[in-house]
Amino acid sequence: MFKRVLIANRGEIAVRVIRACRELEIETVAIFSDADRAALHVREADFAVPVGPPPATDSYLRIDRIIEAARRTGAEAIHPGYGFFSENAGFARAVAEAGLVFIGPPPGAIEKMGDKVEARKLMTAAGVPVVPGSPDVLETEAQVRAVAAEIGFPIMLKAAAGGGGKGMREVHRGEELASALRAVIGEAKSSFGSSRFYVEKYLNRPRHIEVQVLADTQGHTVHLFERECSIQRRHQKVVEESPSPFVTPAMRQAMGAVAVRAAKAVGYVSAGTIEFLADADRNFYFLEMNTRIQVEHAITELVTGVDLVKEQIRIAAGAPLPFKQADLTQRGAAVECRIYAEDPENGFAPAPGKIATLRFPDGPGVRVDTGVYQGAEVPIHYDPMIAKLATWGRDRGEAIDRMRRALDEFVIAGELRTNLDLHRWLMRHPQFLGGEYDNNFLEKEYRPPTEESLEGERLAAILMAAAAAYKNHSAPTGVKIMALQPPASAWKIAARLDLLRR
Amino acid sequence: MFKRVLIANRGEIAVRVIRACRELEIETVAIFSDADRAALHVREADFAVPVGPPPATDSYLRIDRIIEAARRTGAEAIHPGYGFFSENAGFARAVAEAGLVFIGPPPGAIEKMGDKVEARKLMTAAGVPVVPGSPDVLETEAQVRAVAAEIGFPIMLKAAAGGGGKGMREVHRGEELASALRAVIGEAKSSFGSSRFYVEKYLNRPRHIEVQVLADTQGHTVHLFERECSIQRRHQKVVEESPSPFVTPAMRQAMGAVAVRAAKAVGYVSAGTIEFLADADRNFYFLEMNTRIQVEHAITELVTGVDLVKEQIRIAAGAPLPFKQADLTQRGAAVECRIYAEDPENGFAPAPGKIATLRFPDGPGVRVDTGVYQGAEVPIHYDPMIAKLATWGRDRGEAIDRMRRALDEFVIAGELRTNLDLHRWLMRHPQFLGGEYDNNFLEKEYRPPTEESLEGERLAAILMAAAAAYKNHSAPTGVKIMALQPPASAWKIAARLDLLRR
Amino acid sequence: MRYIATIAGQDHEFEVEQTGEQNSFRLRLADNRYDLDLRRAGPSSFSILIGDRVFDFEVTGEGEDLAIASREGVTRIVISDLARRAATSRSARAAQSGRAEMRAMMPGRVVSVLVSLGDEVATGAGVLVIEAMKMENELKAPKSGKVIEIRVVPGQTVEKGELLVIIE
Amino acid sequence: MRYIATIAGQDHEFEVEQTGEQNSFRLRLADNRYDLDLRRAGPSSFSILIGDRVFDFEVTGEGEDLAIASREGVTRIVISDLARRAATSRSARAAQSGRAEMRAMMPGRVVSVLVSLGDEVATGAGVLVIEAMKMENELKAPKSGKVIEIRVVPGQTVEKGELLVIIE
């Protein structure tokens, strides 16, 4: 086993990997940009190395500095987390060339699955069903129109190098095509450095269902059942659950077998996810493979009992999988809510800032993964996801009951805003409770709640708290509620000093 | 189902019951003594009623005030938690007479099991093996000497109404008898209001292993396997695990069957625990039944997936058990560490006080149940247990790895002291790792660690942190490290004001 | 002490007085009177009892602008005592004339400006595109009117709250 | 700035100076020199880097008496600058004569006093029984000697740190 591992990431996933390492008694090396000196992943690591200024391209995306940090600290392996370099074959190769171990799939598998068009071809050849669409990369608007004429609107325009919900647009009518194409090409260039794109049929009431796989270096490949991720906004997952309420036992078995076949077709090793789209008739089509650990891996861990990150590390160290397919079962059900620093009243625009107060839920069946803490500043430079809240229950109903309870216990306030209210709304929505939803559910159904009209004792209590806090802060006239100076203003000073220093 | 439930308890178990209620969409009523106005269980409840001054006998043990609180708030049922009134048949009867539901066993079952001597007789009649000892209550030292002459030293002196490790002393030689007897009689009188006692053989290398049972009002009784609780200090459990590393499958089945028989013999309903002592040859003897939810119930929940507190509530509302014995399985392993506010360097004397800083562990396989928060005062009036830390793993090894990791993440400091270091020591002890321990393990093996000798960078870092905190606090001369005033002193002022007000 | 608080655009005038002990207060709101027990459980934590009902709040923010977080979510509130309020509301009214100031909701980079000075825009029309956290967001006109001021150019970095465009 | 810190009975004399930026410090300890980066992550949280090594501490306590909590446990430390220290240590020496003051380790109630004034006691002999949190605890003599003062009587409530008995 490795003695020391560098984590080329930040936020909750870096903390998650640190926890896995610590359970394996492996020392950890964090890297950090100047914006993250006091971030949780740095505080929790054994070693930490600065890698540059806040913009990711100058720090978390600097191969040279990351490799140098690993060398300097004597790390033997690098875990890429998700995002950043996790699906970058060039990075994986550079790690290997530096004599280090990349905790993830072989570069060849990353490449084969990374180009979405090539992956479609490969999967078709391996007998894996794919979504109808353009057989190859397209280049012009005219080509798109030709494909659309064949498969019919609505269609999806997708960057060939895309992933994570970026570089894609759905087009419902010919008139929307031109602007959507410009947006996809623009995002593809800026996010992935490649403007290649292709077209897929946009399915009727599609559901996003994916299958987790694990493969070791000895040729064993297993699947760990499915996750349903159809609760999305702008093609970004917001809530996931496992098992899917939509998947039948027969469908589950078929999807698992196809997922294993897909992984084997590219010689896959490590943890990975085969994403499928399912239509209303329970046909399912290969969408893409995520050749990394995923944000939503926790719910699979809760249901199967397998620690996916520890398995990734063990596999990278050459260990065989400690279980066979037949040893794996789903127990109960799990739900995950992604907590974003964003403003629901402002089109879910990122709303980062200082976290003045933070209380996490806990107790039976609740798991929180986070990269923040009370007093932390959520930087503007990175992904606005600040925590993942997952719950487990003996059945789906109990998992949701617990999620409702956990969301109620989750208190966060400060400069930032969050989407907690969306989750609270969702966990009471009859369609979600009935498992009756598809990828369009959130876009169709969710409207930011109008502020509740407060009255009676609740209003009185809120006014009292406000008066107490205000009084405490303002000049010491009249009623003196407490000898305590609230630290909010002191924090602000500290925050400003920090800002000046950067 | 109930609309509103009163919880006649405080601390972590009150919070635990509130969580269960919230998941069942039941409103909660907390009660609090003057020392607990700002306690977590009050803050988390929907309603809260003051029941008197800090001493428990004036507040949490006032039947009249508790019943009145339930009436006044419209609560339909009362959950007693553990300790306080949880095993008090008089309270259970008073609740019923007030037209409310007692969430627990029938008063008759509490009484039958509450008198340890009567319980021994009853169990013997039901064919349940009991520890050799006095067949009846004893009254004089001479009687004790007679029993001792028969069964031989060492013996255990036990209060007939005892439980929870109080009112018991082991006696190894005749000379120790007189003072031990005085102590038991004294504690029995002050804790249980009865000085009746009996004698049991003190087994060779005994292990404390208990079986969780659940019984509904329709006559269904199941067991939820065993917990091992042999890591004890002064007959108080400190660490528990499930499954027991000592129990074989055959022994497990036998203990489960005996436990169900014991529960049925007293017409048991609700959650309860049959405690056994096992000797080195794996013979096991009925010790007593705890007719309540136990501190260590969380590890059974982690391993079986059953929410015991929610089942208690459902059973009290008349619902049948939602599973049969055959539906229940043990998955993986769980360990629980009880975190006490006590001073290991001072014979584990309670060391309560203000919690200045508090960081709970989280992430995969970790569960924390607590009644405190950062800034809370641990009162001197009640049990010094401030949190329960439980971990789950695919096997015992992983559960322990996770516990080690979770203990490392657990940061607590302030006026109070804790036994965290004991747990850190234990989770690295070869005998514990090997599952080779008995009830005497801690007493024999544990010595408070001599302070590690600090050196090099670690010493330098500690000195730097101390200098920074000191500098920050003292007069603004020399280096100014931060614009922030540490709130410690402000807290202190607030704490003193609080004290004056009480 | 008399206060005025605004929640979701609605004004609430109320009075708070201390009764007896340090933690006991009486709050008068419209025709209602509430007796409250208030404790501070932490630097920003307040526990309030009204009769037997429990309210648990985390209050953050500065001065008059407060955010009150509880199990039910976050309530934003602007509070001041009556004297201060008089002055504040005069200036607020002036600001609420027929003009709409579009400000940056988050720090970011201006990708493109979709309007020109003097353009007439309808409510909901795209005005600016701002990139933040790798996402492009189109800012839409909050009211119909004429673009009378454009303070930014494409490529420019903006801070949260920075004035971007004025429509009148 | 020069300090002296006592940890587990051992004195450490060291010097801290700020170097360059606000967060950079140099610490001299015996013949060693350490360059540190110090950040405050919260009111009592300090993150320190020495080279690439990470140290994360929660520092609580007041004035000179500090508790430093980390993943490795809690380290108690008494710190002062050198000038103050000189004064303190003189009075400390005076207190450390041949007498032992037994103080209450926790708040509680005296159940019984097992010795009388003038008794000669051996180290480890029971002196007092105190009840706290429903547990009776026997306080034992920390040294052998004569009981020269008894400050409490059975039934009395005592505060933490309160002087109970003096043995000389």
Report how far residue B155's alpha carbon sits from residue B141's, in angstroms, rounded to the nearest whole number.
Answer: 13
Tokens of A308: 């996916």
| DSSP assignment string, C106-127 | SSEEEEEE---TT-EE-TT-EE
Tokens of C164: 């971007």
Quick one: pLDDT band at residue A478, thresholds 50, 70, 90?
very low
Tell me whether residues D52 and A73 touch, CB distance under 8 A.
yes
**List of residues 6+ apart from A279 with CB closer than 8 A:** A203, A204, A205, A206, A207, A285
Q: Which residues of C89-102 are buried (b: 16+ CB within 10 A; e: fewer)?
A: eeeeeeeeeeebeb
pLDDT of res. D92: 53
Query: Count of CB contacts below 8 A, A vs D?
Result: 43
Tell me whether residues A469 and C74 touch, CB distance under 8 A.
no
Residue A152 or residue A68, greater confidence: A68
- In tens, the pLDDT along A91-122 reads 999 999 999 999 999 999 999 999 888 999 99
B424–A contact, CB cutoff 8 A: no
Tell me whether residues A22 and B405 touch, CB distance under 8 A.
yes
Partners of residue C54 in chain B, C-beta under 8 Å: 30, 42-43, 45-48
Distances in Å between the Cα of D165 and the Cα atoms of A1, A408, A490, B372, D150 are 57, 52, 45, 34, 5
- In tens, the pLDDT along B3-41 reads 999 999 999 999 999 999 999 999 999 999 999 999 999
Contact A449, A428 (CB under 8 A): no
C63–B contact, CB cutoff 8 A: no
| DSSP assignment string, A113-176 | HHSHHHHHHHHHHTT--B-SB-SS-B-SHHHHHHHHHHH-SSEEEEEEEEETTEEEEEE-SGGG
Helix B63-73 crosses helix B89-97 at what angle (to 10 degrees)?
30
Tell me which residue of B478, B495, B336, B343 sits closest to B16, measured CA to CA.
B336
Mean of the pLDDT values across residues A203-217?
Answer: 95
Cα of C63 to nearest chain A Cα, Å: 6
C42–B contact, CB cutoff 8 A: yes
Tokens of A182: 């410009």
H runs (alpha helix) in B193-290: 249-265
Question: Residue D49: left (phi > 0), alpha (psi -120 to 50), or beta?
Answer: beta
pLDDT of res. C90: 53
Tell me which residue of A413, A377, A380 sits closest to A486, measured CA to CA.
A413
Contact A382, C133 (CB under 8 A): yes
Average pLDDT, chain A: 90
CB count within 10 Å of CB D104 equals: 21
- D90 pLDDT higher than 70: no
Q: A30-34, A471-475, B174-178, B379-383: which has the highest mean pLDDT?
A: A30-34
Tell me whether residues C8 and A451 touch, CB distance under 8 A.
yes
Mean of the pLDDT values across residues D122-148?
Answer: 78
- For residue D134, the 8-state DSSP code is T
CB count within 10 Å of CB B490 equals: 18
Tell me which residue of A355, A349, A387, A396 sits closest to A374, measured CA to CA.
A355
Domains of chain B: 4-103 (3.40.50.20), 132-201 (3.30.1490.20), 207-445 (3.30.470.20), 453-501 (no CATH)
Partners of residue D77 in chain B, C-beta under 8 Å: 462, 466
Report how far residue B148's alpha carbon sits from residue A395's, in angstroms, rounded to the nearest whole number.
Answer: 53
Q: Which of B464, B471, B485, B492 to mutate to test the interface with D (most CBs of D within 10 A)?
A: B464
**N- to C-terminal Cα separation, chain B:** 39
- In tens, the pLDDT along D43-64 reads 889 999 999 999 999 999 877 8
**Range list of β-strands (E), B8-138:** 27-33, 47-52, 77-79, 101-102
Residues constituting chain C: 168
- A498 pLDDT higher than 60: no
Tokens of B478: 């020399």
pLDDT of res. A477: 32
Report how far residue B319's alpha carbon sits from residue B149's, in angstroms, rounded to the nearest whole number.
Answer: 51
- In tens, the pLDDT along A381-393 reads 999 999 999 999 9
pLDDT of res. A318: 98
Contact A383, A340 (CB under 8 A): no
Which chains are adjacent to chain B, needing at least 3 Cβ pairs under 8 Å?
Answer: A, C, D
C59–B contact, CB cutoff 8 A: no
Mean of the pLDDT values across residues A311-339?
Answer: 98
Q: What is the CA radius of gyration of chain A?
A: 24
pLDDT of res. D163: 85
B residues 432-471 closer than 8 Å to D (CB): 450-454, 456-471
| Per-residue pLDDT tens digits of chain C, which is 168 residues long | 899 999 988 899 999 999 977 799 999 998 999 999 999 998 889 999 999 999 999 999 877 889 999 988 889 999 988 766 665 555 555 444 567 788 886 777 888 888 888 888 887 778 888 877 656 677 878 778 888 888 887 778 887 778 888 888
Given the cut 0.85, state whether the ipTM is greater than it.
no
Tokens of B326: 């055959």
**N- to C-terminal Cα separation, chain D:** 40
Domains of chain C: 2-85 (3.30.700.30), 99-167 (2.40.50.100)
* Average pLDDT of adjacent 10-residue blocks, chain B of 502 residues: 98 98 98 97 98 96 98 98 96 98 98 91 95 88 90 90 76 90 86 85 92 98 98 93 98 98 97 96 95 98 98 98 98 98 86 92 98 94 96 98 97 91 95 96 86 84 92 45 29 32 32
Which chains are adjacent to chain D, needing at least 3 Cβ pairs under 8 Å?
Answer: A, B
Cα of B49 to nearest chain C Cα, Å: 6
Q: Which residues of A are catalytic?
A: 292
Cα of A388 to nearest chain B Cα, Å: 10
Candidate list B62, B207, B292, B396, residue with the active-site label: B292
